[in-house]
Structure 1
Amino acid sequence: MIVAVTIGIVILCLLIWLPIDFYFGRRSHINNVFKRDYPKRNSDIQLYTSGKALFRDLFTEIQNAERHVHILFFIVSNDRFSQAFLHLLKEKAQSGVEVRLMVDRIGSHKINKKTVLDLEAYGVSFNFARRLKFPYLFYSLNERNHRKITIIDGKVGYIGGYNVGKEYIDQDSKLNPWRDYHLKVEGEGVRDLQDEFLADWYHSSGVDDRSNRQYFPPLRKGKCLHQLIPTEGIFLEKTFSRLISGAGTRIIIGTPYFIPSRQLFLDLRTVLSRGIDLTIIVPKMADHPFVQEASYPYFRLLLKEGAKVLQYDRGFYHSKIMLIDDKICDIGTANFDRRSLFLNHEMNCLIFDPLCIEMIKKELKSDIDDSTPLTLEMLSMPNPIRRIKESIAFVISPFL
């Protein structure tokens, strides 16, 4: 009896503490957030949709680095591929090249102290981003750095959806092949990727190199007009809302998780009422519990109002992309969900160049061809287990 009472009291205390922690943690986050606005730039941009091709190129660029390699990933796992990645960084650091590696503390929880000490012994500077912080432990646990940025010699940059682990190079038994979008940037935009990395490094380590000119060499203009958009769990909703509301003919959204905010859901319904063609691509298989069920209530209403929902069934779909009228394309690290909108630190790239967009449209067409429609009839079939999971998903959707 005493044990049961004690457990009950602990659970009650948790239920009281968690929302209080989250509420005040969110307020502190909003009060201390900083907004960075980067101008439109011209760079040469190459799109990768295969992890094998991306990491072949990335590893080659790291091997050819002469001065500094700066890398931020949400996830660096602990498998053979991850070990090969870390081994390459150690080799470059030993050759005299400055190597900095920053990873999210929760996303890269498989990196242990022994691994960190080994990296540092070889000369790699290492930092965990978004550490747990007092007094808002629960909120800081959920506020993640979800960016994936690499900058080499201040001249070559990468940004997109891929992390470091075997699943991203199609070696996972279930999530295979892995479909994602990642950009290689050469030109003016690299300075903004560098500035963003150094800002995150400063907030994690206290070392501020944002004014150090050695990290910002002269850069040539490329052919693709674009703009890099960093968000801190606050500004992304306005960016997406502006893009959606400005559509004139069609919108294509590709995302692994579709859990929109009230505002974005209203925006989507509004454009549908104006006759805008809306297509949403999501994975047929899920990599996390409840994420699919969290999307179903939104899909039921959007399907009724004329949207097309497609399920990608040629592997796992992890792409983060939005195409507006074939005129603006958004690719980056942010999912179309509440976690990316209101918690994660993200980095997206708006592309305005028609030729670059044509290249991306070919990949989107491939996504559509490799997908099958999700219909209202499929979501209306009696399924008590699904209904229970939807109810659970509704409650925890901000954290999925």
Structure 2
Amino acid sequence: MTNILMFILVFFIWCTLDFYFGRKFHLKKVLKRHYPIRHGKWLLFTDGGDLFKNLFKDISNAKYHVHILFYIVKNDHVSLEFLDLLKKKAKEGVTVRLLLDRIGSYRISRKIIHSLKKSGIHVSFCNKPKFPFLFYSLNYRNHRKITVIDGTIGYFGGFNIGREYLGQDPYLGYWQDYHLKLVGDGVQDLQTEFLWDWKRATGEDLLKKKIYFPELSKGALPMRFLPTDGAHLKEFLVHLLNNAKTEILIGTPYFIPGKEILQVLVAALKRGVRVTILVPYKADHVLVREAAFPYFRQLLKAGGRIYRYTNGFYHGKIILIDNEYCDFGTANFDKRSLFINDELNCIIRDPIFIKKIRRELVNDILLRSEQLTLAEYKKRPFWHRGKEIVSSLISDLL
């Protein structure tokens, strides 16, 4: 028994030191990237079936090059259909680059990778676990989802590739998420982000190749991309939330904001700002639901409103401020997105887009969710409170 306890203690100390020094090493290499305000045309998807239909069609029509980055591609019928399409395009002579997160897409076998490469697809994995900071690198993930077709059409948002995103997971049910299709000069920044990650993963520098950056016209949607590599997102959110005057509306699958951002939300409530949080009722990962409850308590006491989506699983990542600013992208409202993951968000101020996305959020809240009141919060069972304690101890990694 003593030996087991000693092993656990040594393992815990090793993980702590590995993570601490791994993050310090990582932060020294982070390059903060700035993009200007762009203007594009947009199409919003909230249903996986509609998204995949459009995405697969645009890939099918590609003539020159297709660049794709996903956090998750699985080994199921939806993923295999997607990969078969990429093989077909590569065999037609279209340059196809596929970049996947090594941990998120762990189900992609060596056999599948071999078949992809054999068909002519350039395949690579980003953020591979490696020494000397093995534990940290296991947790450092590329959570961005980017598709760029012929340098003129871009997709990004919260959906990955798999059957659950079509609502075919028997436990999670319908999958509510958001994804954007973009046409216009904003696509060049999506292309840059993909090629930046491709360079980091493969060493191949294509950022100055003009063939991947055709001349693009401007659209009506003003946008500015905000890439974060496990740094700088917290400062941006603090600034955004501190400037709210009337309303903060947050949709997120995981609500683990940390003390500083929680204090910003409580301060907003105290100055009269309405704060509404939409999260899923179900959880797709162990302990993530329980990790949110300590934060819920303080928000509910301060007058915040918490809603839990009951029509399946809610995976959207939206922050709306005063009906003027929309933060749209891949980052969850949790510590992992704030301090570990590579993420890509987009700041949108277009009134038409904000009206549409707000309508989606409000409908999800009023028609497909139930409100968590302070009285109900206090009634949660003892075993749930025990899981909250455990989840709080490891919330940085959830």
Kindly provide the amino acid, as one letter, of the partner of residue 389 in structure 1: K
The runs of 4+ residues in structure 1 deviating greater than 4 Å are none
- In structure 2, how many angstroms separate the alpha carbons of the residues matched to 1:332 and 1:266? 23
Task: Tell me the C-alpha RMSD between the 2 structures.
Answer: 0.9
> Cα distance, 1:382 vs. partner?
5.3
> Cα distance, 1:180 vs. partner?
0.2
> In the alignment, which of 381, 386, 390 is matched to residue 392 of structure 1?
390
Kindly provide the amino acid, as one letter, of the partner of residue 175 in structure 2: W
> Cα distance, 1:139 vs. partner?
0.4
- Cα deviation, 1:99-158, whole Å, max 9, x if unaligned, reads 011110000000111111100000000000100121000000001000000000000001
Kindly provide the amino acid, as one letter, of the partner of residue 273 in structure 1: K
Kindly provide the amino acid, as one letter, of the partner of residue 393 in structure 1: S
- In structure 2, how many angstroms separate the alpha carbons of the residues matched to 1:170 and 1:155? 30
**1:272 partnered with 2:269:** yes
- In structure 1, how many angstroms separate the alpha carbons of the residues matched to 2:391 and 2:26? 25
- In structure 1, how many angstroms separate the alpha carbons of the residues matched to 2:307 and 2:301? 15
- Cα deviation, 1:254-289, whole Å, max 9, x if unaligned, reads 000000022211110110010001100000111111
* Farther-moved stretch of structure 1 (168-177 vs 330-339): 168-177
**1:162 partnered with 2:159:** yes
Structure-1 residue corresponding to 2:346: 349
> In the alignment, which of 373, 376, 379 is matched to residue 377 of structure 2?
379
Structure-2 residue corresponding to 1:214: 211
Structure-2 residue corresponding to 1:291: 288
> In the alignment, which of 143, 167, 173 is matched to residue 176 of structure 1?
173
> Cα distance, 1:364 vs. partner?
1.4
Structure-1 residue corresponding to 2:32: 35
Structure-1 residue corresponding to 2:111: 114
**1:19 partnered with 2:11:** no
- In structure 2, how many angstroms separate the alpha carbons of the residues matched to 1:157 and 1:126? 19
**1:150 partnered with 2:152:** no
Structure-2 residue corresponding to 1:365: 362
**What are the residue-to-residue correspondences of 1:297-308 with 2, within 5 Å?**
297-308=294-305
Structure-2 residue corresponding to 1:309: 306
- In structure 2, how many angstroms separate the alpha carbons of the residues matched to 1:303 and 1:52? 36
> Cα distance, 1:6 vs. partner?
4.6
Unaligned runs of 5+ in 1: none
Structure-1 residue corresponding to 2:136: 139
Kindly provide the amino acid, as one letter, of the partner of residue 86 in structure 1: L
**What are the residue-to-residue correspondences of 1:122-137 with 2, within 5 Å?**
122-137=119-134
- In structure 2, how many angstroms separate the alpha carbons of the residues matched to 1:330 and 1:60? 28
- In structure 2, how many angstroms separate the alpha carbons of the residues matched to 1:217 and 1:176? 41
TM-score by length of 1: 0.98
**1:185 partnered with 2:179:** no
Kindly provide the amino acid, as one letter, of the partner of residue 399 in structure 1: L
**Does the C-alpha gap of structure 1 residues 374 and 212 become closer, same or farther in structure 2, counting only changes over 3 Å?**
same
Unaligned runs of 5+ in 2: none
**1:225 partnered with 2:225:** no
Structure-2 residue corresponding to 1:64: 61
- In structure 2, how many angstroms separate the alpha carbons of the residues matched to 1:97 and 1:8? 56
Look up the SS of the partner of 2:108 in the other structure.
Answer: coil
- In structure 1, how many angstroms separate the alpha carbons of the residues matched to 2:306 and 2:8? 40
Kindly provide the amino acid, as one letter, of the partner of residue 372 in structure 1: E
- Cα deviation, 1:332-373, whole Å, max 9, x if unaligned, reads 000000000000000011111111211212211221121110
- Cα deviation, 1:53-107, whole Å, max 9, x if unaligned, reads 0000000000000000000000000101110000000000000000011110000
- Cα deviation, 1:13-54, whole Å, max 9, x if unaligned, reads 212211110110010011111111111100011110000000
**1:47 partnered with 2:44:** yes
Structure-1 residue corresponding to 2:194: 197
- In structure 2, how many angstroms separate the alpha carbons of the residues matched to 1:382 and 1:29? 39
Structure-2 residue corresponding to 1:281: 278
**Does the C-alpha gap of structure 1 residues 382 and 197 become closer, same or farther in structure 2, counting only changes over 3 Å?**
closer
TM-score by length of 2: 0.98
